[in-house]
Structure 1
Amino acid sequence: MRKAEHQPAGVTGVPANSGIALRLDSVQKQYGSGPATLTALNNVSLALYQGSFTAIMGPSGSGKSTLLHLASGLDKPTRGSVHVGSTDISQLSGDRLTQFRRDHVGFIFQAYNLLPTLSVEQNITLPLILGGKSADNAWLEYLTNAVGIGALLNRRPAELSGGQQQRVAIARALISHPEVVFADEPTGALDSRSARAVLDLLWHLARELNQTIVMVTHDPVVAAASQRVIFLADGQLAGYRDGGTAAEISDFMTGLEA
């Protein structure tokens, strides 16, 4: 197990010309003030490269959700900065931040959050519609075929399995060519077979489409599908592992929880 403080928590083995898709510099997040101040994240720095597939793990209360919220622009750090691509999103606010998230950040959640009255195609292109943009039909066709739902575009969510609905959610997250996709327990509502298929798909997207994926999970089996696992404990980086089995990841997690 390597300690995260010794080098940036980006993926090893990337080409020299790969850019950094996500960077956190000395990020701190506090809630409250005075004696009641709670530090949810404390002096966290990391860099993730384009095309990397990274899992974030840690015990309950370790700061996983806080890290995801800050990195994706859903919340702002108390101190430090967050860069998505070349943009310091910690300096954006209001409509500018909302527009940036819509155009440059993708989200995949445990709940698929599909609108039941819309078709698969309409659900996928909804972020573009909300931004006043038209879908690139060639990209839509390529993307939906890549995630295995090209023949389902006219169906409604209720006509799909859980695994198919999550594939629709993944396509929706990718439709705007985001710089980073954030996945929060993306397989939590799926059976083991569908979960494995979704994880294989995320791996494919990182390797073949150079898509950067950051996934928060509590499941060592899910984390083992990623290229790198970053561990948090008490709001700080506690280490990272490149590769490794679910059992090895679980053993390290047990040490953090002790």
Structure 2
Amino acid sequence: MTVTAARADSDGRAVRLESVVKQYGSGPSAVVALRGIDLVLDRGSFTAIMGPSGSGKSTFLHTAAGLDTPTSGSVWIGDTDISRMRANRLAKFRRTHVGFVFQAYNLLPALTVEQNVTLPLLLAGRRVERAWLDRIIRAVGLDELRRRRPAELSGGQQQRVAIARALITRPDAVFADEPTGALDSRTGRQVLDLLAQMTRELDQTIIMVTHDPAVAARADRVIFLADGAFVGSEVGATTQQIADRMTAWGTW
């Protein structure tokens, strides 16, 4: 199944997967986690990936983001095929072109909010553009907290720092792994509002893995994954429509 985002301008593609297969091991004990994934996502799209446990969601996210290498097929970020890059070159590429938001935040406790946000630039040897940094920090609502350290922040504030850090390099795409999983419902809604705002105001492409229909409903499009393959998609679906779709398959 080939899934294409709503906007089909080929010049605006942020992420493209072509016939991606990911296999672990070999012989009779081999596990095929992804089975011929085809996907095109355009800039400014907000996509949720859903699937039951063992469906390949995490493998998909890691492979699409360049954290893992496909067994066969190709993965493109912007205009670059990252599938066959050597590890050191790929790591450098990810620092600039890929943002990642982890459920566990992964902030450095000794650094301030501003230092955590600008860390990817430091690692990439790039200077900080003050105007862009100020815009990002204001957009995520952290302007008054720049000099605080993670221990002085709430869970929602820490996740906002993680989102700002993912955006600071102006990446082609931001990948979010259960970004609201460690948050209460009210804070989770605020984070989802922020992600949706980033797609509108910054034309940012966001790919989010979640198991929660209410979270997935905030995305423009929901793509369903089962047994390592895409099995359907919904555009503008409600929480109930997504939950009904999941229940109908009976494997969630």
Range into which the TM-score falls when normalised by the shorter chain: over 0.9
For 2:149, the equivalent position in structure 1 comes to 156
Residues 163-182 of structure 1: matches in 2 within 5 Å?
163-182=156-175
- Matches of 1:62 and 1:48 in 2, distance apart? 20
State the secondary structure of the residue aligned to 1:99.
Answer: helix
The structural deviation recorded for 1:11 is 2.6
Structure 2 Cα separation of the partners of residues 21 and 98 of structure 1 = 18
State the Cα deviation string for residues 116-162 of structure 1 (Å, max 9, x = none): 11100000001111112221101000110011111110111111111
TM-aligned CA distance change 1:117 to 1:250, over 3 Å: same
Moved more, 247-256 or 68-77: 247-256
Alignment of 1:104-143 (within 5 A): 104-143=97-136
Query: Residue 90 of structure 1 aligns to a residue in which SS?
Result: coil
Q: Contact between 1:106 and 1:174, CA under 8 Å: does it hold in 2?
A: yes
Residue 221 (structure 2) pairs with residue 228 (structure 1):
yes
Q: Does 1:9 align with 2:26?
A: no
Is the CA contact 2:5–2:45 (under 8 Å) kept in the aligned structure 1? Answer: yes
Give 1:18 deviation, angstroms.
5.7
Q: 1:18 to 1:256 in 2, by over 3 A?
A: farther
Is the 8 Å Cα contact of residues 14 and 43 (structure 2) preserved in structure 1? yes
Q: Which amino acid in the other structure matches residue 118 of structure 1?
A: L
Q: Which residue type is aligned with residue 39 of structure 1?
A: V
Structure 2: which 5+ residue stretches go unaligned?
none
* Structure 2 residue corresponding to 1:82, chosen from 75, 78, 101: 75
Give the C-alpha shift of residue 226 in structure 1: 0.2
Task: Select between 48-57 and 17-26 the one with higher mean Cα deviation.
Answer: 17-26
Structure 2 partner of 1:35: 28
State how far apart, in whole Å, the 2-side matches of 1:236 and 1:215 are: 17
Equivalents in 1 of 2:209, 2:250: separation in Å?
17
Secondary structure of the residue aligned to 1:121 is helix
Q: What is the deviation of 1:15? A: 7.4
State the 1:256 CA deviation: 2.8
Counterpart check, 1:237 vs 2:222: no
State the aligned residue count: 251
Aligned to 2:239: 246
Per-residue deviation, 1:177 = 0.5
CA contact (8 A) 1:58 1:256 kept: no
CA deviation after TM superposition for structure 1 residue 243, in Å: 1.1
Change (3 A) 1:88 1:120: same
8 Å Cα contact 1:24/1:82 also seen in 2: yes
1:101 aligns with 2:94: yes
In the alignment, which residue of structure 2 is the partner of 1:54? 47
Secondary structure of residue in 2 paired with 1:183: strand
Q: Is 1:215–2:208 an aligned residue pair?
A: yes
* Equivalent position amino acid for 1:237 in 2: F
Counterpart contact for 2:9–2:42, Cα < 8 Å: no
Q: Secondary structure at the match of 1:106?
A: strand
2:193 to 200, 204, 219: 200
Which of residues 176, 183, 186 is equivalent to 1:190? 183
Q: Counterpart of 2:111 in structure 1: which amino acid?
A: L
Aligned mates of 1:40, 1:188 — CA distance in 2: 23
Aligned-residue sequence identity (percent) comes to 62
Q: Return the alpha-carbon distance in structure 2 between the equivalents of residues 142 and 15 of structure 1.
A: 29
SS across alignment from 1:116: coil
